[in-house]
Amino acid sequence: MGMVSGKTAIVTGSGAGIGRAAALRFAAEGAKVVVCDVDVEGGKETAAAIERQGGKAIFIEADVSRVQDVDALITRTVEAFGRLDCACNNAGIEGRIAPIVEQPIDNFDRIMAVNLRGTFLCLQAEIRQMLKNGGGAIVNLASVAGLIGFPGLAPYVASKHGVNGLTKNAALEYGKQGIRVNAVCPGGVDTRMLDSLARQSTGGEKTTREMMEPLHPIGRIGTPEEIAELIVWLCSDHASFVTGANIPIDGGFVAQ
């Protein structure tokens, strides 16, 4: 028996990176998985990988910044699997690096639309459905940038601080109705997003590892699979007394 056997889980932004690793881990631990992304090819690849490993998954294309897409995601999930027990709100973008006075407004708006509005819309729709089920567990993807500042990344930092705030509020509002809500705050993780930030920061002069590994006391960056382990654990009954937490998983980064 897996940690989430018999449960249904949605993972947004699961066409690659942490989202894909989380979707695969949910399936390995016995859940039926709804893979969601705007990247159709990547999302279908994730769902196919789950099926190849003997799991059960469907892919649903959705832009989490759009109310109608999020509502349709929940409707189609329930049509396919009958209920919603777990959700990982992972979809997010990093945008461009620039000081606040040089940040384009459209960059700020797009980051907030996906990272913060998207998480809010998903929380609304997921919680409505979980209330019908009698409970559930949600994990939001924040970041160490939701706990501290990073020069040049003000829109991203603001969005992830907002995700951590939403997490606390949702946990307080729905804990007595059987819904737990937590956030994970990864440090540097080997993903395309981190590669993009490294290229922007160094003008392509340093690799992601050259730039990021010295910043982590553990001496390396993390893997998507390590973050996925925490996500699935938080959605399992093993974490039944954990809610409202913003949990660093960062190789000691914010302990410095």
Q: Is 102 part of any domain?
A: yes
Provide the pLDDT for residue 192: 75
Q: Is 3 part of any domain?
A: no
156 catalytic, yes or no?
yes
Residue 52, token pair as written in the block: 């190849």
Q: Is 234 part of any domain?
A: yes
How confident is the model over 105-125, as a mean pLDDT?
Answer: 98
Residue 40 has pLDDT above 80, yes or no: yes
Sheet holding 8-12, edge to edge: 56-61, 32-37, 8-12, 86-89, 136-141, 179-186, 246-249
Q: Is 36 part of any domain?
A: yes
What is the spatial distance between Cα 54 and Cα 33, in angstroms, rounded to a whole number? 12
List the domain range (segments joined by +) for residue 202.
8-251
Catalytic residue among 59, 81, 120, 156: 156
Whole-model pTM over 0.85: yes
How confident is the model over 108-127, as a mean pLDDT?
Answer: 98
CATH (domain of 82): 3.40.50.720
Residue 201 has pLDDT above 80, yes or no: no
Provide the pLDDT for residue 202: 66
Provide the pLDDT for residue 32: 98
Helix/strand/coil (H/E/C) assignment for every residue in the chain: CCCCCCCEEEEECCCCHHHHHHHHHHHHCCCEEEEEECCHHHHHHHHHHHHHCCCEEEEEECCCCCHHHHHHHHHHHHHHHCCCCEEEECCCCCCCCCCHHHCCHHHHHHHHHHHHHHHHHHHHHHHHHHHHHCCEEEEEECCHHHCCCCCCCHHHHHHHHHHHHHHHHHHHHHHHHCEEEEEEEECCECCHHHHHHHHHHHCCCCCHHHHHHHHCCCCCCECHHHHHHHHHHHHCHHHCCCCCCEEEECCCHHHC
Q: Is 1 part of any domain?
A: no
Domains in the chain: how many in total? 1
Q: Is 137 part of any domain?
A: yes
Provide the pLDDT for residue 190: 81
